[in-house]
Amino acid sequence: MGPIILLQVLNVFFVIVSGHNYNRINQVGSTDEDCDLRSKVTTVKETLVKTVLEKCLITPNDECVPVAIFTLQPCLKDLDDIVPQCFSDALTKAQGAGYEECFCGGVTSLVTSLDTVAPLICSSDPAQGSRLGRMVEAEGVPTFASLMGAEAKPMIIDTDMAIDVNDPLALCAAHGIVTEGYADIKAVVSNVGYPSIIGAVSVINHYHGRDEIKLGAYKGTFGNDFDGGMNGKYVDDLVNNFESPVKNYSSVEDAVEVIRKTLTEAEDNSIVFVAIGFMINLRDFLATEENRELFAKKVNVVFIRGGQYVPESKTPEFYFGCGVVNGKDTYSNTDECKGSAKAAIENIPDSVPVRFLGQEASENVQTGGAFFSWCPALVDQNPCFRALSNYHLATGNKQTLSWDPMTVTAAAGTEMTVGSSLQGQNGKIKVEEDGTSIWENGFPNSKQLYLSLQNIYLPIVQIDLLYCFSNLYTFT
């Protein structure tokens, strides 16, 4: 059994269902607790064999383990009370929803790996210690990614974090990816003019113990009087009620300057630039030939959340259209943003690959429910859950569509990480001044492609697991 499947199993038991909240300063958990957990893992394995595998008879499928884990979550809430009927019901659910083969293959891989996981939980060798030091970031401790031979991708995140709760959740997901070792956030910049947005970014960074991340802000008038986040006002709530070294953009440099400094310090062809918001910062940065040359030298790939590709839309997509919906402005001073998507995309050097995640790519990908179910968080301690709770109180929804988290997760992994494929070969996007766009064919040298969702279950599982990593930083 390969390391990736073992890490997924460790993740589900230690982060989600083992009943522990990890303190990043004083790691908790005793050897007795670890050995008790091993006994519970064995019980889960035996129950799965009797209730699912005897009816499945499917060969193992490591890629479907996240689907199996997601479907089994209701059965794993209480490891002291394993109910066999719940596992049988999970199989019935998979059969009814048309993913029985993937579920059964994932369960087969899961069961096969559990015997290997148990010794890692409760070691007979005192020198090896308990599981905890292997599960959270610590000096000298390998990350998940390093165990798999992967290196962390240096990343710049350009976010609006102003209107939808999937904005802060995307940054929380990015921090989960850093914890796993697949990304290294070098800078976060904001692209809407509301002064407190970068303060909310600082809250999330501080909570995860990463105040060293560079911060920058767009300080123009577009959105400068926007009042703190639709559906819950989460921006002001986070800034006012959580600790952070930065409260508003008066304490940080302009976004364009921070992008320039971060790229200058980076190794050549290394940076993953993630644009999950409006294109103002990228437009302003790429306005000079000097900056375009720096961008071409330092950036490995750009991921852009924007546009709509299948089917194409006759009206501007929200971000490319600067928040104009049905002819009405969502933000103040829209003229300062107008045309930014067209200018930014046209000025990205042809040598830099660009990946677009469109409006349709997150259809029905609802995430965040994990915070209310199988990895419950503390609303007064965890800013990721606090933002989602604000959204829930305002709308009644415990989940949200996941465009931005999908974009960040794909950028750190691949399109397959979020159950998608790359489409649009030999084509590129054409964006008009008002933000309307079409995909034009006939460009064999183009390095632009867009993501097309193929499997809804993979992004849901991957992203909810990333959210759950934020519980590692809860103090109890």
Alpha carbons 373 and 367: distance in angstroms, whole number: 12
DSSP class of 62: G
pLDDT at 122: 61
Alpha carbons 470 and 137: distance in angstroms, whole number: 12
DSSP class of 227: -
In our burial notation (b when 16+ CB lie closer than 10 A, e otherwise), range 265-284 reads ebeeebbbbbbbbbbbbbbb
Helix-strand-coil percent breakdown of the chain, rounded to 5? 50, 15, 35
Could you tell me whether strands 153-159 and 271-276 are parallel, antiparallel, or unpaired per DSSP bridges?
parallel
SS3 state at 411:
helix
Closest CA to 90 of 79, 111, 75, 102: 75
Q: Positive or negative CA dihedral for 207, 219, 226, 306?
A: negative
Q: How long is the chain?
A: 476
Could you tell me whether strands 328-329 and 324-325 are parallel, antiparallel, or unpaired per DSSP bridges?
antiparallel
Q: Residue 181 is which amino acid?
A: G
Reading the block at residue 220, the tokens are 């123009």
Maximum CA extent, the chain: 67
pLDDT at 233: 81
pLDDT at 144: 59
Closest CA to 355 of 309, 301, 404, 416: 301
Q: Residue 222 is which amino acid?
A: F
pLDDT at 475: 46
Domain 151-473: CATH superfamily is: Ribonucleoside hydrolase-like (3.90.245.10)
- Name residue, tokens 């796993």: 180
pLDDT at 14: 53
CB-based burial label for 94 (10 Å; 0-12, 13-18, 19+)? buried
Q: Can you give the residue ranges of every domain in the chain?
A: 3-141, 151-473
- Name residue, tokens 């644009």: 275
pLDDT tens, per residue, the chain with 476 residues: 445 555 555 555 555 454 444 333 333 345 566 677 677 778 888 888 888 888 887 788 877 877 887 788 788 777 778 899 999 999 999 999 888 888 898 888 888 777 666 555 565 544 444 443 344 444 445 565 665 567 899 999 999 998 889 999 999 999 999 988 899 999 999 999 999 999 999 999 999 999 999 999 999 999 988 655 554 489 999 999 999 999 999 999 999 999 999 999 999 999 999 999 999 999 999 999 999 999 999 999 999 999 999 988 889 999 999 998 888 888 889 999 999 999 999 999 999 999 999 999 988 899 998 888 767 778 888 999 999 998 998 889 999 999 999 999 999 988 888 889 999 999 999 999 999 999 999 999 999 999 999 888 778 878 988 888 787 665 44
